Structure 1
Amino acid sequence: MERLGTGIGWRPEIAEAVERMPGIEWVEVVAENVCPGHLPDSLRRLRERGVTVVPHGVSLGLGGADRPDPHRLGALAERAEALGAPLVTEHIAFVRAGGELTASPRLEAGHLLPVPRTRDALDVLCENVRIAQDALPVPLAVENIAALIAWPGEELTEGQFLYELADRTGVRLLIDVANLHTNHVNRGEDPAKALADLPVEALAYVHVAGGVERDGVWHDSHAHPVPQPVLDILTALASRTSPPGVLLERDDNFPEPSELERELVSIRAAVERGRASATAPDVSPAGPQPQPQPQPQPASPPGLPAVSEATRARLALAQTALLSALVAGTPVPEGFDRARLTVQARALAGKRADVVAKVAPELPGILGAAYRPAFLAYAQHHPMSGGYRLDALEFAESLLRGEALADDRARRALHEWWRDRSGPRPRAHRPAVRLARATRRALLRR
């Protein structure tokens, strides 16, 4: 794997600061946020300086029951070529459910959700990864995700799941050490055990990020400083292998550039501590300890057995039931922690509100302090079925149809905003409400 070095997630809010930061060897950009034909000037300047740019996808849903969408794969391939990237990355997650496999309406999570670590889910993931690999012009690496919830009846640990995935497909791994910490706090999983099981030969690079703990739950916010436990996991990983690249992620609540630079210094120091501990002689009284045997290099086999439609349907039903409970108010599937699902549901609604405010900043401008509570009330009964821009339009339409918006000035401004984007007047039907009800009925019949 080509050496990347030390990098940072490129975001428009810190673009100028990233260009001035010393020691930045590469950057990662959210693939869906760039247009191949109109790259931001900052990214073009970085590329001209020889800085590597890696597109990081968030919407493929490789862990979902459906096969990857060819249009999404094509878009990711276009971005890889436009950026001259040496690889592309995505997540081991599902982001949507429902549809033909379950004969129920399509639901969008707007977030990365964990796949069950079962043989069925692994078989589907392996086939989806192979489909993606065949469609992309450069190698693919996939990332472990953070989770608030655990699936009942899991058959593999995280390390075993990742090892088998890499061994069966030859895919590279993007290891997020912050997500290992998140899963330690939220799910009681030992990061040392996960690291011990990993095929380090498959490592593409490493993510490092911050978060915050609230009421005993760790939220992988990417909006807070990197905590020491995350740096300690990075050191432990670096004691086993030299990471080809390490990248700092920050997505919100951006600090001064000097603080980001200090975090990069801390990340480099954590890697160096790991390297030093790997090479230092053992002078303990007990003498040198046995070293772990190297694991076999994951190899891409010529082919994998096709996954049956029955396997995909079982996974689809399970994922749809979970996502519907999170966003459409259907019953919690058996075996899940209800309290944790409540936390996850609130987090999903909160993220929806935040992202809609970014893609349609006029809405919080028009509604002021009433925007967030109004959107959260809307989200309780209106699951997302399309992208965030459609979500913004349907939210505005619901306010215009209802009685909650009493301010005439705000109502006129909102109507003008909505009309400019969708038509002369709000539609009389309520597609999002019907979607939630149809999903609930379909799942309750099973």
Structure 2
Amino acid sequence: MAGGVQPTAGSVQPTAGGVRLGTGIGWRPEIADAIERMPGIDWVEAVAENVCPGHLPDSLLRLRERGVTVVPHGVALGLGGADRPDPARLSALAERAEALDSPLVTEHIAFVRAGGALTASRTLEAGHLLPVPRTKDALAVLCENVRIAQDTLPVPLAVENIAALISWPGEELTEGQFLYELVERTGVQLLIDVANLHTNHVNRGEDPSRALSELPVEAIAYVHVAGGFERDGVWHDSHAHPVPQPVLDILADLATRTRPPGVLLERDENFPEEGELERELDAIRDTVAGSARRAPASAPKTPARTTPPPSAAGAPTTRVPAATRQRVALSQAALLSALVAGTPAPEGFDGTRLRVQSRALSDKRADVVAKVAPELPRIVGPTYRADFVAYARSRPMTGGYRADALDFAVHLLLAGHPDSSGELRTWWLERSGPKPLGSGPLTRWLRARTGRLALRRAGREAEARLGG
């Protein structure tokens, strides 16, 4: 047991909305050892797609043995997308909840891909959480998708509000109203990210206090707290910077309305020293405790619901008309295509904000590809980022990030990237496997060409050695 630190809450305590979690932190491999040493960690959250049920990280296993709760947090399901949830992705999320003995699982109110059969176009991947329009159509689709997920998952589901740089034109509901209706219709729990409320305040002019006043606070499963930064009037929810005071202020406002069952610090990059993380956790604890003490005398209370939320089993099961899904699909595909494929901006969107979002998506793609294929930046050299952004500008992602890394390597080779040592060709050949990801003539030609070049190079090297 690293550090010999015991959790402050040895077991999960039930509450009206689900479970009492306490204070937690996002588990990441880079800070796994530090988390095990930290005092007062009641629970952790792990990105579901980064955890393999059959090969759980030793750190998570040790935490589980100590009674620390682990919650899988999904990022790729796309519950806000126009299509029904992918059964394979739902099954994978369920497997992780069972492997981790989790009391609940969480996902996002977002779409992450668009296109496909509903639009008769290719499916595009955003590689990012994008906002759904707060319209009656989008709400109907989201509610049905949530109910499908609830029917599949072995534990309760909580869904998270997301941060956004852009706003949809013609929205019919505020964020608080949208979430209230979602809970009313499905009984789903909420994961409220107060950092995302701050982001939407800066970027979209939305009042966090109003959003909190409209929420069904009794449905909150837990709360996220994270940092970011502002550049050129836009707030970027980076999860790589300290938690700013405005985010803590929103947490304080929430804590005067209800006692959050759990609060979690998120940090995904640019990890600070262990002591700094502990100080941020202390600030979060102090904020919640201080607000709770002030609540009876001064807090604005969120009105209670007149009717209890329906259970998943008792929720309406009316199927969303195909025409409704198609309308949502067409609007989401048009937006995503403008962001990642350079097509014209859909009517009503802020073109400047779309360009900012588009650049952010390209930068994120470059960063994630560098993580899943760390050899590429070294092989390509100092021009890696510029080369990748130029590649991404006209080549939207249609698969995962690992496929994107292979496609980028193919692009560089076909474009005549200087590869005098053959390292890039060798890297691509080794990772594309005996059956390339693509079956088209371009991929077959490249494999044949790179294979011949490798043989010729080997022959020249052999002749040089003999001649020497």
TM-score relative to the length of structure 2: 0.88
Q: What does the per-residue CA deviation read over 1:323-346, in whole Å, with 9 as the maximum and x for residues that have no partner?
A: 000001111000000000000000
Whether 1:354 aligns to 2:367 is yes
Partners of 1:291 and 1:381 lie apart in 2 by 50
2:233 counterpart residue number: 216
1:117 is matched with: 134
The CA distance in 2 between the partners of 1:225 and 1:302, in whole Å, is 40
Is 1:299 aligned with 2:310? yes
- Match in the other structure for 1:436: none
Does the Cα contact within 8 Å between 2:131 and 2:162 map onto a contact in 1? yes
Determine helix, strand or coil for the equivalent of 2:166. Answer: coil
Is the counterpart of residue 336 in structure 1 residue 353 in structure 2?
Answer: no
Secondary structure at 2:221 match in 1: strand
1:199 aligns with 2:211: no
Structure 1 partner of 2:409: 396
Aligned to 2:424: 414
Across the aligned residues of Structure 1 and Structure 2, the Cα RMSD in angstroms comes to: 1.6
Structure 1, gaps ≥5 residues long: 283-288, 432-446
Distance of 2:158 and 2:75 partners within structure 1: 13
CA deviations over 1:55-89 (Å, ceiling 9, x no partner): 00000000000000000000000000000000000
Which residue in the other structure is 1:439 paired with?
Answer: none
Structure 2: distance between partners of 1:159 and 1:151 = 16
Match of 2:387 among 364, 374, 389: 374
Task: Tell me if the contact between 1:353 and 1:376 (Cα under 8 Å) persists in the aligned partners.
Answer: yes
Alignment of structure 1 residues 12-161 onto 2, 5 Å: 12-161=29-178
Identical counterparts, % of pairs = 74
**Residues in 1 aligned to 2:61 and 2:301: alpha-carbon distance in whole angstroms:** 45
Match of 2:464 in 1: none
| Pair 1:181 & 2:194 matched | no
TM-score by length of 1: 0.92
Distance 1:19 1:366, change over 3 A: same
- Residue 101 of structure 2 aligns to which amino acid in structure 1? G
Counterpart amino acid of residue 298 in structure 1: P
The structure that has the greater radius of gyration is: 2
Taking a change above 3 Å as real, the CA distance of residues 357 and 342 of structure 1, as seen in their structure-2 partners, is: same
Residues 185 and 316 of structure 2 are in contact (CA less than 8 Å); yes or no, is this contact kept in structure 1? no
> Number of matched residues?
421
> Separation in 2 of the partners of 1:90 and 1:49?
26
**Deviation at residue 292 of structure 1 after TM alignment:** 5.3
Partner of 2:294: 277
Give 1:274 deviation, angstroms: 1.3
- Give the match for residue 266 of structure 2: 249
Q: Give every structure 1 segment of 4 or more consecutive aligned residues whose post-TM-superposition deviation is greater than 6 Å.
A: 424-427
Distance 1:350 1:153, change over 3 A: same
Once the 2 structures are TM-superposed, how far is the Cα of residue 299 of structure 1 from its aligned partner?
2.0
In the other structure, the counterpart of 2:462 is none
TM-superposed CA distance for 1:370, in Å, is 1.4
Cα pair 2:256 2:301 within 8 Å, conserved: no
The 3 A distance-change label for structure 1 pair 160 and 393 is same
Q: Secondary structure, in 3 states, of the residue corresponding to 1:352? A: helix
Give the deviation of 1:267 after TM superposition.
Answer: 0.4
Q: Structure 1: how far apart are the matches of 2:362 and 2:116?
A: 22
Q: Give the equivalent residue in structure 2 for 1:316.
A: 329
Deviations 1:188-213 (A, max 9, x none): 00000000000011000000000000
Q: Is the 8 A contact 1:9 1:250 kept in 2?
A: yes
- Is the 2:195–2:224 Cα contact (8 Å) retained in structure 1? yes
Query: Are the aligned partners of 2:257 and 2:302 in contact in 1 as well (CA < 8 Å)?
Result: no
Residue 265 of structure 1 is matched in structure 2 by 282
Secondary structure (helix, strand or coil) at the match of 1:385 reads coil
